[in-house]
Structure 1
Amino acid sequence: MDNRQRGITIRGNSAQIAFTYQGVRCRETLPMPPTKAAQKELQLKRQAILYEIKSGTFDYLKHFPHSKKAQEFRKTRPDHYTIGEGLKAWFQRNQGRFQQSTLRDYNSAIYHHLIPTFGALAIAELTAMTIKQWLSELPISNKRKNNVLTPLRQMYEEMYLDEMIDKNPLDRIKNLSVKTREPEPFTAAEVEKILNELAGQERNLIQFAFWSGLRTSELIALRWEDVDLENNRIFVRHAKVRGHLKGTKTNAGTREVMLQPQAKQALLNQQTHNGKSNDIIFHDSRTGEPWKNDQAIRKVIWTPALKKAGLKYRNPYQTRHTFASTLLSRGENPLWVAQQMGHKDWGQIRKVYGRWIPQN
């Protein structure tokens, strides 16, 4: 056989086959004894490869199981590429887009739920029924189930848009309904009872929480540079989640909040403890360091204060509910309250706090 035959190059005891697959020029080297029979077999192999490529049945790994290029092309074969491999690659490729807290959540979802359950399945093998059955048996809340599915949803959506798969089984899986807890705001008398059980920085923090409507993660990230006392306002730009500073939860979360008199007084009192212009405002008085997370506040300040005040336990988020219900009850515009709370519109205000909106 002519060493220059189209698509085949013979070099001693090996030969290189060249072909184009999915628009990519491929060259694979195979061992070949210097016999006419071997050369004829090589020619037939290339013809078979070209036919399979044309008919859409070409399996790169079957022909060249040790090829690096075959491993790359395997990613385009949803019948071969596994969900575990796809999730790991998706996570690695996209992790630069996510906040640290989101990375932790996705990492947990992928390695503790999704890969152990679906990792060995080929991308094309996953069905909506398989997912539904798994969700029905998973012993976690609906909210957590929805969050666990998020990386899987995003990976399949990316593959669908890249035309690696013809259909996305996650399109048939709706997020499970999540019950919204009914707000249990504190009365003015209850707020006073709680504050009377606190002093110093602890009182300043909780008083500010009641009268600013900030989430705890936003409270512990607030800096003095975010405060404009002269114009009675603060700027909410950051949140602290699991010890890491990040941007607010949504674009609407980055906002300007007008200071109610009680909130302003809490800040003025806090200046005597910690008034450095570039520092975090609220510190743990036991350590002199900024609060690391909301759990510490709940354990050290909140729960003991409620017990001493003789009040039924309600979580710290109720300070935010108290702020909203108080403003609405005194007739403030729901649209303005929504902006103060960091909601993109007043739909959530109407849904959650409708009974505190005066009916004209």
Structure 2
Amino acid sequence: MDRKLPRGVTVRGNSLQLSFSYQGQRFRESLRMPDTKPNIKAAELKLAAIQHDIAMGKFDYGLHFPRSKHAMRLSQSLQQSVTIDQILNDWLRRVKERTAYSTLRDYSSAVTYHLIPQFGTLKVMELKSSQVEEWLSSLDISGKRKRNILIPLRQAFEDAVFDGLIEQNPMLRVRNPKHERSEPRPFNQDEVDRILSVLAGVERNLICFAFETGLRTSELIALMWKDVDLESKQIHVRRACVRGHIKETKTSSGWRSVPLSPSAYESLISQQFQRYNHDSFVFYDPKSMKRWGGDQIIRKRVWKKAIQASGVKYRNPYQTRHTYASRLLSQGENPLKVAYQMGHKDWGMIRSVYGRWVK
């Protein structure tokens, strides 16, 4: 038998629902209660209490409907209780599905080891831009790393403004730290020869190929035999290995073809003779007989030992890339062509980083 319901109380599905106006907008909220006679009376009383609070100017949406999608936006008590660790963790969950594995790992590291320990217990409304800048100035890390750490905090606060938690975003006044680019320190030919002279087999092939192609270590690790065209003496760079995961290169400009110098060609021929188990990857770890797991293991087990044995002043493995670029430019190669072979979208990076080698 149909019951006559009080004004503002309706039934939706198997539950009672309240309808009321607040701040010039109509809202409907489910009570998650079946439409029994006692529940209908309780719903009528609750609606009367809501209307009284609205009339008195003391209605708090979150207290009446804490699970509502409108609660956070319209509840001052909830807004004041939200902490920074909550919005950071919520932001991480939201970006998980649309973010590359390596990027998400960096975000998680920034949140877990930097942002939450420093700001996590603060209420969202308490954060001041001066607090962030003072903290940044105390960190003994590069400007680039500082900017990366700030990304989750900036985006979480943007969402907080959008959700109505705060009216003003304190992160808008936090200036990005300057990134001081390290000066290239390429190896000369004598140094290259000395380094290669203390290496042998697959390790020599790897390092020689790095000097002769300018590939990033992550690209060297991910190079597959299907990317190699020995007949036309070129390779096609299509993917990289980041944090142990194979993925496509970071930008569309990363897709490129690189011609093989005689030394690079000889390294591939040598590597082909030492091909193990017909593995699809060109370079492999002779210890595990599998694809290299990452750039750190190469740096520690191959690069550092070779530099020490050769007597050459230590520089990091990325200088093989600088060596390749500076050599081509010194020989008068077109900067646009060098930019393409390095995987840059234009020659702006070549001009700013390698300007003194451009003829």
Q: Return the TM-score normalized by structure 2.
A: 0.85
Correspondence for 1:350: 351
User: Which secondary structure state, in structure 2, belongs to the residue aligned with residue 120 of structure 1?
Assistant: coil
CA distance in 2, matches of 1:188, 1:114: 45
Correspondence for 2:68: 69
User: Which secondary structure state, in structure 1, belongs to the residue aligned with residue 20 of structure 2?
Assistant: strand
Matches within 5 A, 1:243-262: 243-262=244-263
Identity %: 49
Q: Structure 1 residue 91 and structure 2 residue 92: aligned?
A: yes
Correspondence for 2:106: 105
Aligned residue identity for 2:273: T
Correspondence for 1:48: 52
In the TM superposition, residue 20 of structure 1 has moved relative to its aligned partner by 5.5
Correspondence for 1:235: 236
Q: Structure 1 residues 340, 229: closer, same or farther in 2, change over 3 A?
A: same
| Conserved 8 A contact 1:216-1:294 | yes
Q: Structure 1 residue 25 and structure 2 residue 28: aligned?
A: yes
Aligned residue identity for 1:234: I
User: Which secondary structure state, in structure 2, belongs to the residue aligned with residue 74 of structure 1?
Assistant: helix
Q: Structure 1 residues 339, 76: closer, same or farther in 2, change over 3 A?
A: farther
In the TM superposition, residue 101 of structure 1 has moved relative to its aligned partner by 1.6
Per-residue CA deviations over 1:261-311 (Å, capped at 9, x if unaligned) read: 221221111100117776110011222111111111112221121122111
Correspondence for 2:215: 214
Matches within 5 A, 1:1-360: 4-8=5-9, 17-19=18-20, 24-28=27-31, 42=46, 44-51=48-55, 58-64=59-65, 67-69=66-68, 73-74=71-72, 78-160=79-161, 165-274=166-275, 279-358=280-359
CA distance in 1, matches of 2:173, 2:162: 16
Aligned residue identity for 1:354: G
In the TM superposition, residue 46 of structure 1 has moved relative to its aligned partner by 2.7
| Conserved 8 A contact 2:154-2:171 | yes
Aligned residue identity for 1:7: G
CA distance in 2, matches of 1:3, 1:93: 44
CA distance in 1, matches of 2:275, 2:319: 26
Q: Structure 1 residues 51, 134: closer, same or farther in 2, change over 3 A?
A: farther
CA distance in 1, matches of 2:230, 2:149: 42
Aligned residue identity for 1:199: A
Q: Return the TM-score normalized by structure 1.
A: 0.84
| Conserved 8 A contact 2:218-2:241 | yes
| Conserved 8 A contact 1:74-1:81 | no
Q: Structure 1 residues 281, 215: closer, same or farther in 2, change over 3 A?
A: same
Q: How many residues align?
A: 343
| Conserved 8 A contact 2:61-2:74 | no
In the TM superposition, residue 75 of structure 1 has moved relative to its aligned partner by 5.9
Per-residue CA deviations over 1:35-89 (Å, capped at 9, x if unaligned) read: xxx999756513234447xx7x64223335xx4327x622665444332222212
Listed as ranges, the gaps of 5+ residues in structure 2 are none
CA distance in 1, matches of 2:128, 2:192: 52
CA distance in 2, matches of 1:42, 1:285: 73
In the TM superposition, residue 111 of structure 1 has moved relative to its aligned partner by 1.7
Q: Structure 1 residues 6, 340: closer, same or farther in 2, change over 3 A?
A: same
User: Which secondary structure state, in structure 2, belongs to the residue aligned with residue 186 of structure 1?
Assistant: coil
The alignment yields a C-alpha RMSD, in angstroms, of 3.1
User: Which secondary structure state, in structure 2, belongs to the residue aligned with residue 240 of structure 1?
Assistant: strand
Comparing 281-290 and 125-134, the one that deviates more: 125-134
| Conserved 8 A contact 1:283-1:289 | yes
Comparing 212-221 and 157-166, the one that deviates more: 157-166
Comparing 269-278 and 257-266, the one that deviates more: 269-278
| Conserved 8 A contact 2:224-2:280 | yes
Listed as ranges, the gaps of 5+ residues in structure 1 are none
CA distance in 2, matches of 1:233, 1:49: 75
| Conserved 8 A contact 1:74-1:80 | no
| Conserved 8 A contact 2:20-2:26 | no
In the TM superposition, residue 8 of structure 1 has moved relative to its aligned partner by 4.6
In the TM superposition, residue 155 of structure 1 has moved relative to its aligned partner by 2.1
| Conserved 8 A contact 1:238-1:247 | yes
